[in-house]
Amino acid sequence: VHRDSVIAVYGIHSFPDPVLNQMIVEVDTSFSWVNQWKNGNQYTGNQYIDDLLDGYDLRFQSYDEWPIGNYVTLRSDQFLNIDALAEEFTAIPGVNGAQKDAVSGDGNDISYSHNTTVGFKELIYSVGYRDCETQCERRRYWKFWVRDANCNLEFRGSWGDLAP
C-alpha cells in the first residue's frame, strides 16, 4: 500500500477544522445598518464594517435568525486570522460577538505527529463513511512513517472497518 494509492482512491484531505476562511457575526437588530445584511446586501453602510469586508476580501454569505440570536456568515477565499478579525468586529457597536464558523459533521481526515525520540514523523489517513452528519459510523485508517530527510514513506499498517 502506498500513500498515493490511498489518496488516489479516496481523495483524502484534512477535515476542515479549524475553519480559517469563514466567520459568523452576531448582530443587534436595533442598529439600522443590520437591515442591509438582513436584506441580503454585501455592504451595510457602516464604514468600519464595510472597510473590514473590503480589507479582508470578506463576502456576505447569509443572514440567519436563530433562537439564540441573529447571525451573519462571512467568507473569504483566503485563510485569515479569524480570532484577531473577530476582535475587530466585536469592537463595533451593533456587533454582539464574532467567531470562527464551526464545521459540523465528520469525514475523511489526516493526522500528523512527530516522534523525536524514535526519529520519525507519522501520518495517519482515514476515510469515514456511513452517516457522517455527526460522526461517521465507519472508518478505515492507514498509517505511514516518514523516517529520513528524503521523505521516504514506510507503510506501517491499516485497521478499522473495511474500506468502502
- pLDDT tens digits in sequence order for the chain, 164 residues long: 566 677 778 878 777 666 789 999 999 999 999 999 999 999 999 999 999 999 999 999 999 999 999 999 999 999 999 999 999 999 999 999 999 887 677 888 888 888 767 678 888 999 999 988 888 999 999 998 887 777 788 888 999 999 88
Which letter, b or e, does each residue of 46-58 get, where b requires 16 or more Cβ atoms within 10 Å of its Cβ?
bebbeebbeebeb
Extract the C-alpha cell encoding 105.
459533521
C-alpha to C-alpha distance for 158 and 164, rounded to whole angstroms: 14
Match 459533521 to its residue by C-alpha cell. 105
**Where is 98: in which H helix or E strand?**
strand 95-100
DSSP for 47-62, please give it. Answer: HHHHHHHHHTT-EEEE
Other CB atoms closer than 10 Å to residue 25's CB: what's the count?
A: 27
| CA dihedral over 92, 97, 99, 102, signed as positive or negative | negative
What is this structure's pTM? Answer: 0.60
